[in-house]
Structure 1
């Protein structure tokens, strides 16, 4: 007969696990679930944000008209028609690889920071604000390379102008030589993207857009203090804390849902322009020595011209279109106007709000399950101690 006080494998783990382990695992589960559910909307948002970096010739070449993507439905139709279901889930690999460590690091550091800052301040808003900044900075620096790859995979199209293009000089069988590539802007997978970015652009390409990403800490600095405030108002419980016995379950989860939606809308509305700037910097390829013409997103490229009988001019030096946050801001404002800073915002809301909602609901549910498993394991251990032996 099976002993009812025998601990299961999950209970043995939970009894010995620390709160940090609970937060990390619950955050990873929440981020993974959110990434899978909202990947198609993330692809559409990235396409809309990045297309402003294309020149008019590239846009008209791709689809025969100046505007490639128009709105949520129009963009989804183009992706579905040209690339099918795989296009809708382009970049899912980096999303999964990115969200798992991002939210695991974020929730762990956030809750540890709250404990540490709580020893120096009694102001809950100050504690939540700075905990969000610290957690966001830690997770951003740790996972930025993954998000650069994700953005590039999502922003590329299925068709390429120069399939036989090769980088110069041609590859020799040496460790430092550059490979011959089918296209300078075509990645077949996450590993393929990482290899090509490293061999053609160097290690710094993985940290493209890091500065505006760090400026994006203003987003979490708004979102999570707001979430904590709304959840406390709606449920009477802080983040990650389960409802008390006898509390209305339906009202509790409805409160979490409302807090997630309101906090995400507030944060996205206030900080959206930095996402456009970050996307432009991430999707811009770094100049490659010896490359006379750079095909891809966001480059200022020009081929030398000369009259008949004249000696051809030397190739122009490739200059990136976007350099730093201030220059990128001025370039976008000058060429496209202020509306470009809100390109894809409607789609972003339709992606970000469900993503935040799924993340927080999954996180809260996972935390509740982990704490319940730990309580059951502790109860069984206590019964084993109290049980008389003969």
Structure 2
């Protein structure tokens, strides 16, 4: 299970490998959705035509620059995903372990996991933000280079070192709670699903053995990951939109075709004034598809790699200390 468990045989360092592979696989599968999402969030044509469907945007991208353009920014996206996912999972594993070993959480367990998730999300947002700025600009620039170094030079040329941190405040406000919600929801739903899948057994040890079976772990993780992705993204989406628009405020787009703003509050207020409440959820549908797929792939891959690693190294020789401070 994601997060600290006193019976866990893997250390956070060993789980780091699982999060790395999870990040790679997740990015490879979701990059096309990310490209379409960014175009839907930023292009004024999409804003002026609320009935423009995400598949119409996809068709236009393919017609203009070919199918390969759906993986525009993938190189930077992979590095971003590896750093982001590994930071999230690793910091979450470490913080939940520290809290559980030093405090009696009891009935506040869900709150603790949420707060640990918020902290890991803020850390991840700060670490990967410069890469996200490069990635977003590569996705919207038809002539953008796929090279990370060249992409970084272009970002730097528009506003110096600070241009790499455009939208960081919105990123922290959005990603921190989003990751917190995601981990908290995942643990709750996964635990519920594992109990539901083994409801017919009447022996605790037998139930635990069944819950640890690969098929049950995969099924519960897939459902819980999907729910975590949908819930966390839905509750924080306006900040996601503002973050993307802040990340291109110094981007020299031709004909003023992109929606730009200069502060988090300005983005939210300007969007509401020009587009109404629905405008705060521009590109929401494609984003939810991506969030659901990302949650499903990331959590399921992570859990299955951890499961396979446990089978290789075997059970722990002695359980870690769980002495509490009162």
What TM-score comes out, normalization by structure 2 length? 0.82
Alpha-carbon distance in 2 for matches of 1:24, 1:30 = 10
Q: Which among 88, 98, 109 is matched to residue 80 of structure 2?
A: 98
Contact 2:158–2:250 (CA under 8 A) maintained in structure 1: no
Q: Which among 115, 121, 124 is matched to residue 136 of structure 1?
A: 121
Q: Which among 229, 232, 237 is matched to residue 188 of structure 2?
A: 229
Alpha-carbon distance in 1 for matches of 2:29, 2:42 = 22
Contact 2:214–2:304 (CA under 8 A) maintained in structure 1: no
Structure ID, larger Rg: 1
Contact 1:24–1:103 (CA under 8 A) maintained in structure 2: no
1:190 aligns with 2:175: no
Alpha-carbon distance in 2 for matches of 1:130, 1:376 = 29
1:204 aligns with 2:162: yes
1:89 aligns with 2:71: yes
Q: Greater relative contact order (Cα 8 A, min sep 6): structure 1 or 2?
A: 2
Contact 2:22–2:302 (CA under 8 A) maintained in structure 1: yes
1:46 aligns with 2:29: no
Cα displacement (A) at 1:251: 3.4
Residue in structure 1 matched with residue 249 of structure 2 by the alignment: 284
Contact 2:37–2:286 (CA under 8 A) maintained in structure 1: yes
Alpha-carbon distance in 2 for matches of 1:34, 1:357 = 9
1:261 aligns with 2:226: yes
Residue in structure 2 matched with residue 32 of structure 1 by the alignment: 24
* Structure with more helix by fraction: 2
CA distance 1:255–1:366, change in 2 (3 Å): same
Cα displacement (A) at 1:93: 0.7
Alpha-carbon distance in 2 for matches of 1:234, 1:209 = 37
Alpha-carbon distance in 1 for matches of 2:218, 2:139 = 33
Residue in structure 2 matched with residue 343 of structure 1 by the alignment: 282
For these two proteins, the number of residue pairs brought into alignment is 294
What TM-score comes out, normalization by structure 1 length? 0.69
Cα displacement (A) at 1:120: 2.2
Cα displacement (A) at 1:151: 1.0
**Structure 1 alignment gaps of length 5 or more:** 1-16, 53-58, 61-65, 159-185, 238-242, 288-292, 300-320, 379-390
Alpha-carbon distance in 1 for matches of 2:14, 2:91 = 12
Question: Residue by residue, what CA displacement relative to the aligned partner does 1:302-328 show, whole Å, maximum 9, x if unpaired?
Answer: xxxxxxxxxxxxxxxxxxx52211111
Alpha-carbon distance in 2 for matches of 1:149, 1:252 = 36
Cα displacement (A) at 1:26: 0.8
Alpha-carbon distance in 2 for matches of 1:126, 1:337 = 33
